Amino acid sequence: MGKVRTSIIKRTARKLLAMYPDAFTEDFEHNKKVVSEYISVDSKRVRNQIAGYITHLIKIRKKLEAS
């Protein structure tokens, strides 16, 4: 079994992607900084989970566009 992301992580990540589609890239470190700028997150773990899921979604989107 893999890691499971909670619905709050997924919902927040999708909302940020919808609001700021050009701000995020495939780079996790860049996405961490952008997530910190746009929302206030109390814990590093939650911020990293949101940034990681955004990175995952961006990679999927690029893969679909390429094919």
Q: Among 47, 58, 50, 49, which residue's Cα sits nearest to residue 23?
A: 58
Which tokens in the block code for residue 24? 């995020």
The yes/no answer on whether domain 7-66 falls in CATH 1.10.60.20 is yes
Residue ranges per structural domain of the chain: 7-66
pLDDT, tens only, 1-58: 677 899 999 999 999 999 999 999 999 999 999 999 999 999 999 999 999 999 999 9
User: Could you tell me the pTM of the whole model?
Assistant: 0.91
Q: Which DSSP state fits 22?
A: T
